[in-house]
């Protein structure tokens, strides 16, 4: 097939696996993925057959077609692995995701392709094209493309092993949901609508699942300590013991990869092409985070413990299962704010409409509900337009289902390429609602999560119009990817924005300004503790990948680290590492959330607080950050938008936002 034919026409139709029956049939799914992999191979063959001088158009274009077809196959196999109703299809999707990962590993070690890309004449090429080639060549070198044949074969085998272990680890979390039994009396403190949805059976037993809509209210509102403890242990052991050995094997495999490639540890390898640059730089950042949050967290802890002891004389300490409950009780007393009181103002449908309206105004786009089918009847589909011009599509799969992934995430569906594909992305979440008669009343933290995930989605759509698939959408450094999501969640703090959609689902009453004020004050209390929690998860992910895993005791390491960074009492039997899903995706680089929070808050500080959606900062942010996709390094995007590097000033203000005078007045 001629090179120009491959570049222009490789499977630009039939781009949705579920339209080919892949959401219902394992065979159809495998056939669809196979067609994408065949197109991938055809593009690589055409690339290697190019004669004469290599240019971006005759060589990089073919490489990019190979990348786009691999991305298409991997993205949609990944989606079905997370959401397909049939376990047979989910199992097949996991195998297909592994097949795609094997092809990606083979590509990353293909010396002939590397040599072809290395000699492309980039004179006169755009800055984005030069960045693409330079970043791609670096990724090849980090993969070990310059090693001998035997070493490359060994590296590929290790990558395939690591991929299989990661997929198995994630699947065990996804399908490891558990239930606990409770009595009606043990539901004391939980919202009336929650109690109404959980009626006892003939024997008086109430079954609660470890899915987020069941689990989170228990940990926040249930006054029964025994119920909180049972839920906590069920939630944190839902993938144990299976994932214990899988994680140990994964850590050993990653370390072997790093050693073969000449790195001291996986953490050094995993940060080599990131903004952070090295594990040592991560540790320096964590030390700064530790210093910034230590005093505030200690102050919060003293207040919480003193308050709890006044409520329960004789209480010695607060354990990890009671932290959320006592924070809630303290906020009710100190700030006159009961987080249950705002749930009726956040029914799911209104929140969805409010998030969409916010994004539409901020980014100057329009969302139209579409009749195009998704992979499940529960999925809603929206088309994105700008001045009547189609910009992309997204899918909202927002409520729990049997077998569905239990977390909250954004996922690419179709990688956008200018002139070939419009970008498509999905949100896969587990918010309340989704059943007839259930309004899906959300906690305010759920609403923040919705804003967060929608920030990822807009990054995928608005950044999905680049010249190259390899630069499209999410294709930034991994430690820049959480900036757009964490920036958008800050918009939840705006009173006028909230009152645009926060209305009581029964009376239509607008969420009162005084309640919003109290909610913001109460929300500011606990930020230092949140940072300490992030510090714990971040340090755990780093430590597990920054030392020889031989002889590693996961239980002892997890407990010791918790006790060194957290003031709450440890609960024996906690196996959180077995369900810490980010250990597969971010591996050692969970620091991304805290690092990107610093950048995101600095970005948000550039908006006019009196006119968040109307000021021209939104247009600048869209153009200089979101629309770039991965067309330039994250460091350049920060400098383009801020005119400088990020600093800690906005983060420090956010972390230490003044609530103490209000607190003292309320407690007087």
Specify the pLDDT at position 668: 41
Element of type H or E holding 369:
strand 366-370
Dihedral pair phi/psi, residue 385, rounded to 5°: -130, 155
Q: pLDDT at residue 69 above 70?
A: yes
User: Stretch 215-223: mean pLDDT, rounded?
Assistant: 97
The whole-number average pLDDT for the span 76-92 is 96
- Region 60-68: mean pLDDT is 97
Give the predicted TM-score (pTM) of the model: 0.94
| pLDDT, tens digit, 9 for 90 and up, residues 578-608 | 999 999 999 999 999 999 999 999 999 999 9
Q: pLDDT digit string (tens) for 618-666?
A: 999 999 999 999 999 999 999 999 999 999 999 999 998 755 545 544 5
Whether 613 shows a pLDDT value over 90: the answer reads yes
Residue whose C-alpha is closest to residue 166's, from 615, 554, 585? 585
| Domains identified in the chain and CATH numbers | 3-108+110-143 (1.20.1050.40), 177-236 (no CATH), 344-528+592-667 (1.10.1370.40)
Q: What percent of the chain has pLDDT over 90?
A: 93
Give the per-residue pLDDT at 1.
45
Residue 12's pLDDT is what?
52
The neighbouring-strand residues paired with 412 are 425
Pairing of strands 424-428, 409-414: antiparallel
Average confidence score pLDDT of the chain? 94
Higher pLDDT, 108 or 662: 108
Query: What tokens appear for 146 in the block?
Result: 């310059």
Contact 471, 630 (CB under 8 A): yes
Question: Quick count: other Cβ atoms within 10 Å of Cβ 627?
Answer: 16
Summarised one tens digit per residue, pLDDT across range 244-263 is: 999 999 999 999 999 999 99
What whole-number distance in Å separates Cα of residue 183 and Cα of residue 186?
5
Record the tokens describing residue 21, joined without a space. Answer: 């029956």
Element (H, E) at 389: strand 389-397
Whether the predicted pLDDT of 616 surpasses 80: yes
Confidence class of residue 13 from pLDDT cuts 50, 70 and 90? low
Pairing of strands 424-428, 380-386: unpaired
User: Is the pLDDT score of 23 beyond 50?
Assistant: yes
Position 5 confidence tier, pLDDT thresholds 50, 70, 90: low
> How many CB atoms sit inside 10 A of residue 665's CB?
9
pLDDT confidence band for 6 (50 / 70 / 90)? low
Type and span of the H or E element at 257: helix 242-260
């Amino acid at each position: 097939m001629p090179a120009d034919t491959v570049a222009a026409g490789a499977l630009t139709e039939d781009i949705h696996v579920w339209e080919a029956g892949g959401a219902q049939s394992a065979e159809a799914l495998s056939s669809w993925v196979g067609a994408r992999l065949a197109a991938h191979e055809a593009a690589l063959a055409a690339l290697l057959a190019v004669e004469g001088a290599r240019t971006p158009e005759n060589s990089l274009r073919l490489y990019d077609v190979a990348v786009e077809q691999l991305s298409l196959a991997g993205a949609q196999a990944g989606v079905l692995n997370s959401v397909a109703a049939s376990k047979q299809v989910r199992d097949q999707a996991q195998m297909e995701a592994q097949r795609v990962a094997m092809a990606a590993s083979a590509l990353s070690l293909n010396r002939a392709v590397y040599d072809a890309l290395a000699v492309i004449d980039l004179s006169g090429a755009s800055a984005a094209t030069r960045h693409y080639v330079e970043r791609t060549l670096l990724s090849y070198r980090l993969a070990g493309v310059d090693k001998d044949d035997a070493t490359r074969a060994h590296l590929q085998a290790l990558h395939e092993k690591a991929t299989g272990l990661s997929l198995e680890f994630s699947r065990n979390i996804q399908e490891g949901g558990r239930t606990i039994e409770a009595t009606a009396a043990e539901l004391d403190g939980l919202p009336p609508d929650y109690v109404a949805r959980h009626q006892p059976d003939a024997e008086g037993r109430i079954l609660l699942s470890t899915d987020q809509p069941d689990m989170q209210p228990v940990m926040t509102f249930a006054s029964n300590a025994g119920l909180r403890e049972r839920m906590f242990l069920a939630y944190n052991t839902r993938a144990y013991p299976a994932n214990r050995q899988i994680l140990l094997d994964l850590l050993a495999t990653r370390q072997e990869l790093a050693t073969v490639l000449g790195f001291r540890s996986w953490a050094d390898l995993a940060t080599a092409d990131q903004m952070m640059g090295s594990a040592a730089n991560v540790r320096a950042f964590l030390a700064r985070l530790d210093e910034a949050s230590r005093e505030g967290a200690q102050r919060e802890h003293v207040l919480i413990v003193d308050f709890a002891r006044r409520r329960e004389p004789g209480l010695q300490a607060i354990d990890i299962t009671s932290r959320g409950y006592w924070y809630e009780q303290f906020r009710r007393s100190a700030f006159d704010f009961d987080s249950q009181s705002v749930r009726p103002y956040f029914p799911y449908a209104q929140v969805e409409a409010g998030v969409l309206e916010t994004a539409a105004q901020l980014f100057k786009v329009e969302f139209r509900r579409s009749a195009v089918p998704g992979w499940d009847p529960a999925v809603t589909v929206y088309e994105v337009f700008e001045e009547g011009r189609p910009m992309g599509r997204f899918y909202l799969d927002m409520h729990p289902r049997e077998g569905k992934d239990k977390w909250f995430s954004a996922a690419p569906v179709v990688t956008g390429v200018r002139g070939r594909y419009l970008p498509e992305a999905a949100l896969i979440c587990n918010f309340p609602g989704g059943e007839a008669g259930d309004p899906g009343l959300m906690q305010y933290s759920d609403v923040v999560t919705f804003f967060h995930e929608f920030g990822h989605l807009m990054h995928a759509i608005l950044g999905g119009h680049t010249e190259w698939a390899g630069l499209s959408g999410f294709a930034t450094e991994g430690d820049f990817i959480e900036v757009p999501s964490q920036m958008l969640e800050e918009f939840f703090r705006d009173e006028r924005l909230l009152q645009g959609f926060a209305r009581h689902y029964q009376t239509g009453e607008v969420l009162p300004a005084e309640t919003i004020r109290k909610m913001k004050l109460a929300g500011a209390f606990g930020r230092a503790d949140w940072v300490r929690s992030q510090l714990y998860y971040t340090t755990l992910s780093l430590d597990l990948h920054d030392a020889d895993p031989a002889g590693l005791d996961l239980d002892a390491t997890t407990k010791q680290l918790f006790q060194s960074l957290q003031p709450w009492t440890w609960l024996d039997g906690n196996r959180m590492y077995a369900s810490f899903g980010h250990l597969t995706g971010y591996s050692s680089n969970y620091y991304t959330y805290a690092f990107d929070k610093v950048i995101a808050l600095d970005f948000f500080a550039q908006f006019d607080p009196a006119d968040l959606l109307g000021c021209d900062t939104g247009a600048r942010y869209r153009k200089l950050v979101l629309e770039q996709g991965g067309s330039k390094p994250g460091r350049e995007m920060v400098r383009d938008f801020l005119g400088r590097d990020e600093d800690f000033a906005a983060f420090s203000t956010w972390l230490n936002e003044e609530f103490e005078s209000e607190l003292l007045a309320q407690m007087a």
